[in-house]
Amino acid sequence: MEYLHDLGSEIRSIAGEYRLDQEGRLEYRGREVLYVLGHAVFDTTCCGTGGCRFALVPGYLTTYRARQNDRGVWISEVDPISDQEARDEISGLLKQKDFVQQVQFS
């Protein structure tokens, strides 16, 4: 699966916005996991305001920044992580390491 390294874009929604702002790599059981950190702000909801820090995990890296697309954005190849035990362990590691409230897998 392809992953586009496109950080910094603000994504607006009816409830607020989120932004991906940092990438990282984590060694896990002899493989390298690519993850992306971001933050969300809920400031236009009817029930109050809030926010959170989160991580998205595209998967295990197979090639890192191997090529660029026509906009000059780097592309990596990843294998999705489907094993629930691995997901749980990686989530725990990221919550400890980067103090995120949520971890989502592609």
Query: What is the pLDDT, as a whole number, of residue 42?
Result: 81
So what's the pLDDT on residue 9? 78
Contact between 79 and 60 (Cβ < 8 Å): yes
- Scored b (16 or more CB within 10 A) or e, 55-94 reads bbbbbbbeeeeeeeeeeeeebbbbeebeeeebeeebbebb
pTM: 0.87
Predicted pLDDT at 26: 97
Q: What is the pLDDT of residue 45?
A: 66
Domain count, the chain: 1
Placement of tokens 């809030």 in the chain: 50
Find the helix or strand (DSSP H, E) in which 84 lies. helix 84-98
Helix (H, G, I), strand (E, B) or coil at 47: coil
For residue 43, the one-letter residue type is D
Domain that holds residue 40: 2-105
Digitized pLDDT (tens) for each residue of the chain, 106 residues in all: 999 998 987 888 887 888 999 999 999 999 999 999 999 888 776 777 778 899 999 999 999 999 999 999 999 999 999 999 999 999 999 999 999 999 999 9
